[in-house]
Structure 1
Amino acid sequence: MDDYKNTKEGRIAGQKYADLLQMERPEPSVKHPRMSLGSRAKIFSPFAALRGFDDELAEEGAQTLRVARAELSEEEKAALSARLAALRRGMTITVRYFVPDLLCPADPPAGRYKTVTGAVQALDPVRKTLRLALDSPHTGPGMEKEKAAVILYENIEELT
């Protein structure tokens, strides 16, 4: 910046705005308060130029990361069942579960494993589902996350 002041253009600008350079920053009016840094950051945050493009890329990546579903042993199933029985509404848990790829049915099923953390909203023993209110650390354009997850008991692999 000091180099600019020593150029011909810098000296001309310095002379032109000499009376303003020495002034203090004006206080904002009550009618027009200063914008918060958070709001100001939103103005300059990146945006999704192609709506849904990030989702398509994530889906394509998920298809390339497809794995066969691992089968739990009887002991692991019993331990998982005991943990499910101990769950209560409002508890915060982390669940690792299998998401089958419905477009490519296979035997054993292929898909991907997903890990989510959230608060238990409901346990449905009839439908054999677990409903979680998910923690969402990231927000903003292009970062929309699911607010809740409904997970079939049979797809749960790990519960902590």
Structure 2
Amino acid sequence: MSNLFEMPSRRQLLAVAATGLALAAVPALAAPTPAMVTWRDPGCGCCIKWVEAMRRAGFAVTVRESQDMAAVKTRLKVPAALASCHTSEIGGLVVEGHVPADAIRKLLARRPAGVIGIAAPGMPRGSPGMEMPDGSKDPLNLTLFDARGRSRPFA
């Protein structure tokens, strides 16, 4: 094409289409996943199982132990009603309990306004780190929360 008002040739259109297809086949270069720090009570075994699941999912997790998990949760503004056994920090957000890796990735990508964290309250059977030998599962009610303790379901 010699100017903007000329119709592109068939060869030029095919070249543009082929380039688009080639680019679509290449995965988008995503920003690296931020490092995760997980706080746990030294006596809790399911926390380590959850950390192992997160590492298998591609997260770089550093584990820190605390005899005072209540203080960790208070510092990170985890509402008491949403508490679980371990608490993590990743990319400026809080992850409370047995939250699956895909939910963490969605939260990191979406970053809803005002939200400081996501929780899987309690210790739901069948969640990552809480798998049961018989395959039984509890409902996984993932919940977003803000710094003032307000919460809403995570969709």
Shorter-chain TM-score range = under 0.3
Instruction: Choose 1 or 2 for highest CA Rg.
Output: 1
Could you state the TM-score of these two structures normalised by the residue count of structure 2? 0.23
Could you state the TM-score of these two structures normalised by the residue count of structure 1? 0.22
